[in-house]
Amino acid sequence: MRLATFRAGKAHILYDADSLCDADAAPQIGPHSFDPAHWQRAARVTGEAPGRGASLFLDAGDAEWVLRPYRRGGLIARFCERRYLWTGLERTRAFRELRLTAELHARGLPVPRPVAAAVTRHGLTYEAALITVRLPATRALAGLLEGGGADDGLLEGGGADDGLLERVGHTLRRFHDAGLDHVDLNARNLLVDAEGRVWLIDLDRCRLRRDGAWKRANLERLARSLAKFAAPEAMDPIRRGYGAA
């Protein structure tokens, strides 16, 4: 995957040049691509994901995309939901997440293929959004643990048996062996497709690190997430799969 950047007005865009360039090497993407209203006017919004960011599913022709704006959480969101402090283009959350996702994708790890990231500067602050290719026919591990939900029926047989949970652990071990510190590892950021393959999403603020205590912290965070979904026992087969990897 070959990443490239260009500027259009106040917007800086980092994109996958291998999939978004035509014969003249002009990027087939622009600031409008990150504007939900643009897709809504074209009647090409196919759905919406739950969560604070209100990610949209988009009909992009040959593929379906996920458009995710960056949104703050917690108390600070009451005062500044969309703006972040500008400390340099390559330090923006969107550029860092897209480059990390591209690196993991290039290593063959199960993450969505990145499409583009846009950063719009407003003096000392910026807004940002990210586009990735949507993973087809997936549902969150959280939904499987709950045994239903809006995505019910995507995984044949439903549910999260020990075999699936061990594959979750095996997948997490692959990411940890690659050095990925996922700072928000929870049951909603682990997806399972129709063939039972496990995927990891939402790499905002994540990074590659040397071996350390962060691995244990990741797993402990996941354990707390499983407990919130009334499935603390799911962590045992996940740890078995992690250890057997």
Identify the burial level of 108 via C-beta atoms within 10 angstroms of its C-beta, where 0-12 means exposed, 13-18 middle and 19 or more buried.
exposed
The strand ranges marked E within 138-228 are: 138-140, 180-181, 190-193, 198-200, 207-208
- Whether 151 is catalytic is no
Distances (CA, A) of 181 to 131, 190, 196, 210, 212: 21, 14, 24, 9, 10
Q: Which of 184, 193, 204, 211 is catalytic?
A: 184
Helix (H, G, I), strand (E, B) or coil at 47: strand
Cβ atoms of residues 14 and 23 within 8 Å: no
Report d(CA 140, CA 45) in Å as an integer: 21
Q: What are phi and psi of 2, to 5 degrees?
A: -110, 115
Q: Which residue numbers are catalytic?
A: 184
